[in-house]
């Protein structure tokens, strides 16, 4: 069975392809280095030329949905793709498995950001020996802080879901028995 972890790895490879010029330019404009952070590119075509079984699996994961759009070949089904033509960031569970995706559709008249679901933490659950934890409002804020290299040895950072503290954030904080300080960064 295809997982979000496997799909995200294909998005990471997609960003490294020579044709992925626009997403690389977008990330560069944000000051983010895809070779240093886990970032992918969803061209929206991962479901093309695959078996119906894999399409059903992607539908179960929530990354594609059947669409009423017309198709040129009879018997084919059109799909709407989550985060089509976007840069994608992975949100992880406690086992470091990708359980959610955050997509920024940057090549639209009005940029659109969306989560696949409400699960997981970006960039990951903080290590148990964390002494200082930064809570930032968005995935982009978190990626920028990681990219800055200002975090010290026992510092960690977690992105809230567009400023919202979810149960998984509270659960993660409760596991940090050496935590001395929480720094909340607001927009």
Tell me the percentage of the chain whose pLDDT exceeds 70: 94
Q: Domain check: are 46 and 109 in the same one?
A: yes
Asked if residue 21 is part of any domain, the answer here is yes
3-state percent breakdown (helix, strand, coil) of the chain, nearest 5: 25, 25, 50
Q: Domain check: are 136 and 111 in the same one?
A: no
Six-digit token pair at 12?
Answer: 């990471």
Asked if residue 127 is part of any domain, the answer here is no
Residue spans of alpha helices (H) in the chain: 4-15, 21-30, 52-61, 139-148, 167-174
- Collapsing DSSP states into helix, strand and coil, what is residue 16? coil
Cβ–Cβ under 8 Å, residues 41 and 88? yes
pLDDT in tens, 124-175: 999 999 999 999 999 999 999 999 989 999 999 999 999 999 999 999 999 9
Provide the pLDDT for residue 76.
66
**Residue 187: alpha-carbon gap to chain centroid:** 20
Asked if residue 125 is part of any domain, the answer here is no
Q: Domain check: are 89 and 165 in the same one?
A: no
Average pLDDT over residues 77-105: 92
Strand 181-184 relative to strand 132-136, pairing = parallel
User: Of the candidates 89, 115, 141, which is a domain's last residue?
Assistant: 115
Asked if residue 124 is part of any domain, the answer here is no
Q: Mean pLDDT of all residues in the chain?
A: 91
Q: Domain check: are 17 and 105 in the same one?
A: yes
In the predicted structure, residue 1 carries a pLDDT above the cut 60: no
Asked if residue 93 is part of any domain, the answer here is yes
In total, how many domains does the chain have?
2
Average pLDDT over residues 9-31: 95
Provide the pLDDT for residue 89.
98
User: Of the candidates 115, 147, 174, which is a domain's last residue?
Assistant: 115
In the predicted structure, residue 48 carries a pLDDT above the cut 80: no
Asked if residue 109 is part of any domain, the answer here is yes
Asked if residue 120 is part of any domain, the answer here is no
Q: Domain check: are 90 and 172 in the same one?
A: no
Q: Domain check: are 69 and 159 in the same one?
A: no
Provide the pLDDT for residue 171.
96
Structural domain that includes position 168: 132-184
Q: Domain check: are 82 and 51 in the same one?
A: yes
DSSP notation for 19-63: T-HHHHHHHHHHT--TTTS--EEE-S-TTTT--HHHHHHHHHHTS
Q: Residue 34's domain is classified under what CATH number?
A: 3.90.980.10
Asked if residue 141 is part of any domain, the answer here is yes
Please give the model's pTM, rounded to 2 decimal places: 0.91
Instruction: Give residue 80's pLDDT band: very low, low, confident or very high (50, 70, 90).
Output: confident
Q: Domain check: are 139 and 61 in the same one?
A: no
């Amino acid at each position: 069975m295809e997982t979000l972890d496997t799909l995200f790895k294909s998005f990471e490879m997609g960003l490294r392809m020579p044709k992925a010029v626009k997403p690389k330019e977008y990330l560069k404009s944000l000051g983010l280095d895809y070779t240093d952070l886990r970032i992918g590119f969803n061209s929206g075509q991962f479901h093309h030329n695959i078996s119906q079984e894999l399409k059903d699996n992607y539908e179960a994961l929530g990354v594609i949905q059947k669409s009423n759009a017309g198709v040129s070949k009879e018997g084919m089904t059109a799909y709407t793709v989550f985060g089509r033509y976007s840069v994608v960031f992975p949100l992880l569970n406690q086992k470091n498995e990708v359980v959610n995706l955050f997509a920024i559709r940057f090549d639209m008249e009005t940029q659109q950001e969306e989560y696949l679901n409400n699960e997981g933490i970006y960039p990951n659950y903080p290590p148990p020996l964390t002494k200082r934890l930064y809570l930032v409002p968005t995935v982009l804020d978190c990626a920028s802080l990681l990219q800055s290299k200002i975090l010290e040895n026992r510092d960690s950072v977690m992105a809230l879901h567009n400023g919202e503290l979810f149960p998984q954030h509270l659960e993660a904080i409760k596991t940090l028995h050496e935590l001395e300080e929480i720094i909340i960064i607001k927009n």
